[in-house]
């Protein structure tokens, strides 16, 4: 495998790890046609799949997929034998269904078991691209290919990345509790202010103003002024003004 492709695949699987919780060994669910195509191209799955996903892998196949291979006749007998080397993934089907239908039901709406799907069924892969978090593998001209993350997967990855920046449930509960406490405090303070203003208004109303008292300075008694000294008469002034006058005639 080329170094450039290895980097692309490694980056893709790292994205699945961080966003959806994929862990090694990666669990790969194979369909019968993928097993048959591997035999046709002499691909040894237990070697090529770990190098494709850049990590240890575990290959699984369902009873429905093996039953489908058997139903195709002797040309697929080699694939039936090869399938028995893989770990059997139990499904709930008592009567076998098609490999595609079986895989769809296992993956469901959100791939809860973090399976990678290795399939040559183009219709199945098209359907699984609509399910977020499903790595898809197929064989193209004897080369095992890991498809780029689908549009649905990229959208889900972006949503999960954005969710990391938002408060979690515990933090959100704490913030709501704190907000309620602040609102209660503001309400209590407003009630106290209202009561104080009402009391002050009532106190002013109870105080009635009496009649206006006179200015104490205006009531102060005036001091009596002493009477002016009497002016001397004019005759007295004239007699007293002639010195040495003889009174005897």
The span from the CA of 41 to the CA of 31, in Å, is: 16
- What's the pLDDT at 2? 78
- Which structure tokens are listed for 54? 């850049």
Q: Look at residue 212 and tell me if it is in a domain.
A: no
- SS3 at position 59: strand
- Please list the pLDDT of the chain residue by residue as tens digits (249 residues): 678 899 999 999 999 999 999 999 999 999 999 999 999 999 999 999 999 999 999 999 999 999 999 999 999 999 999 999 999 999 999 999 999 999 999 999 999 999 999 999 999 999 999 999 999 999 999 999 999 999 999 999 999 988 888 777 777 777 788 788 888 788 877 777 666 666 666 666 666 555 666 666 666 666 666 666 666 655 555 555 545 554 444
β-pairing verdict for 136-140 and 143-146: antiparallel
30 - beta bridge partners?
Answer: 61, 118
Query: Which structural domain range is residue 111 located in?
Result: 3-165
Encode pLDDT of 132-144 as tens digits: 999 999 999 999 9
The span from the CA of 151 to the CA of 23, in Å, is: 22
- Contact (CB, 8 A) for 96 and 5: no
- Which structure tokens are listed for 199? 């009391």
- Which structure tokens are listed for 120? 């040559």
> pTM for this one?
0.68
Q: Look at residue 87 and tell me if it is in a domain.
A: yes
- Mean pLDDT score of the chain: 85
How far CA 185 is from CA of 41, 174, 181, 189, 191, in Å, comes to 75, 17, 6, 6, 10
What CATH code is carried by the domain that includes residue 112?
3.40.50.1010
Q: Look at residue 186 and tell me if it is in a domain.
A: no
Question: Hunting for tokens 């080369």 — which residue is that?
Answer: 143
CA 171 to chain centre: 9
Burial of 189 (0-12, 13-18, 19+ CB in 10 A): exposed
Asked if the peptide bond before residue 236 counts as cis, ω within 30 degrees of 0, the response is: no
- Which structure tokens are listed for 77? 């007998």
- What's the pLDDT at 222? 61
Q: Look at residue 48 and tell me if it is in a domain.
A: yes
Burial 37-73 (b: 16+ CB within 10 A, else e): bbeeeebebeebbbebbbbebbbbbbebbbbbbeeee
Q: Look at residue 20 and tell me if it is in a domain.
A: yes
The span from the CA of 88 to the CA of 191, in Å, is: 71
Q: Look at residue 198 and tell me if it is in a domain.
A: no
Q: Look at residue 145 and tell me if it is in a domain.
A: yes
Count of structural domains, the chain: 1
> In this structure, which long-range contacts are made by residues 183-190, counting pairs with CB atoms below 8 Å and at least 24 apart in sequence?
none
- What's the pLDDT at 190? 76
Helix or strand (DSSP H, E) at 17: helix 3-20
The span from the CA of 126 to the CA of 131, in Å, is: 10
- What's the pLDDT at 75? 93
């Amino acid at each position: 495998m080329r170094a450039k492709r290895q980097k692309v695949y490694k980056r893709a699987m790292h994205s699945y790890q961080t966003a959806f919780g994929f862990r090694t060994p990666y669990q790969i669910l194979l369909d019968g046609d993928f097993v048959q195509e591997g035999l046709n191209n002499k691909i040894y799955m237990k070697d090529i799949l770990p190098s494709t996903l850049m990590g240890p892998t575990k290959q699984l196949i369902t009873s429905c997929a093996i039953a489908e291979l058997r139903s195709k006749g002797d040309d697929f007998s080699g694939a039936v034998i090869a399938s028995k080397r893989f770990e059997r993934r139990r499904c709930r089907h008592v009567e076998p269904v098609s490999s595609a239908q079986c895989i769809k039901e296992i993956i469901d709406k959100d791939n809860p078991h973090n399976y990678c799907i290795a399939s040559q069924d183009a219709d199945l892969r098209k359907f699984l691209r609509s399910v977020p978090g499903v790595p898809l593998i197929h064989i193209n001209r004897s080369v095992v290919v890991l498809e780029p993350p689908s549009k649905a997967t990229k959208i889900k990855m972006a949503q999960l990345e954005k969710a990391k920046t938002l408060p979690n449930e515990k933090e959100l509960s704490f913030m709501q509790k704190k907000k309620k406490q602040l609102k209660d405090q503001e309400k209590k303070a407003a009630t106290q202010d209202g009561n104080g203003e009402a009391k002050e208004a009532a106190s002013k109303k109870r105080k009635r103003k009496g009649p206006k008292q006179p200015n104490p300075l205006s009531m102060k008694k005036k001091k009596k002024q002493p009477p002016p000294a009497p002016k001397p008469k004019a005759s007295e002034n004239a007699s007293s003004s002639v010195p040495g006058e003889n009174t005897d005639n």
